[in-house]
Copies of this chain bind each other. A is one copy, B any other.
Amino acid sequence: MAFSIGPTVATMQASTSTNPLVRKAEAFVSLHEGARIAMEVISGPVTDIAAHSDLVREGDKPRGVLMILNGMAYRYKKRTGGARQITAYLVPGDMGDLDVALLERMDHGIATFSACKVAWIKPETLSGIRQSHPVIDRALRIGTLVDEAILQEWIMNIGCRSAIERLAHLFCELLMRLQVVGRAFGNSYALPVSQAELADTTGLSNVHVNRSLQELRRRGLIRLSGKVLTVFDFPALKALAEFRPGYLHLAK
């Protein structure tokens, strides 16, 4: 056991675990004690990864399934000219594709924004746990569907929202996703992402991201400084972005 995550099993309470995998699963299903323990266990040996390093490179043969326990990472694709598109943010509790071992090679890369704690889980281990705990299996399947729903929402975001709306929508989505796993504090959360990286996320230039952020600040909606984002007026931010969180499929 390389690292200990959160309190001991004995002190855990339903939906207040500090293990992000458990927190996320409990947003979709209700876990009984045995399943919670099993989820703690699969978070087994943890690896520390520095900020701005590759976890997976495009063209790699997939290894095990990736789980993010702490920090923030992202999926990306590159154009030959050097342009980069970030296609997903991975926050604590998120997993790489469950069936990724079925593919010959990765069609995209995964890298870290911040220093991260991650776990690589062997496909056999995972399928064993899924078989013995149907409720975990169910939570993981729902998680996969939500990942897909987020991709669709991002297509919508880039395809038909203005610059300021795209950023507002991203910030709303991250706030909700991080609240679920206990990584938001009030309406604030760590956002270790540079403006250039926000640009690669939203399909904008870094210059225009900068100006749009200023506009969001000027309107009193957010503050973003020192890698911490604070949402001052969530209702207004949601209205601006037309953020409807249904696609995240979080239980009420």
Contacts and interface: CB of A to CB of B under 8 A. Distances in A.
B151 A152 contact: yes
Given A142-B102, A151-B152, A107 B158 contact: no
A97 B249 CA distance: 15
A80 B84 CA distance: 30
Contacts of A147: 148
A145 interface: yes
Nearest to A251: B104
Nearest to A166: B159
B83 A160 contact: yes
Contact of A203 (B80, B108, B159, B247): B159
B203 A160 contact: yes
A160 B80 CA distance: 12
Interface residues of A, number: 41
A87 B142 contact: no
Given A77-B156, A99-B144, A160-B83, A105 B246 contact: yes
A84 B156 CA distance: 8
A136 B152 CA distance: 26
A242 B160 CA distance: 23
Nearest to A247: B107
Contacts of A108: 149, 152, 247
A232 interface: no
13 contacts: A77-B152, A83-B160, A85-B159, A87-B156, A88-B152, A97-B145, A97-B148, A100-B145, A102-B138, A102-B141, A103-B142, A104-B249, A151-B155
Given A107-B152, A107-B246, A154-B155, 8 more contacts: A77-B153, A87-B155, A107-B247, A147-B148, A148-B148, A151-B151, A151-B152, A159-B202
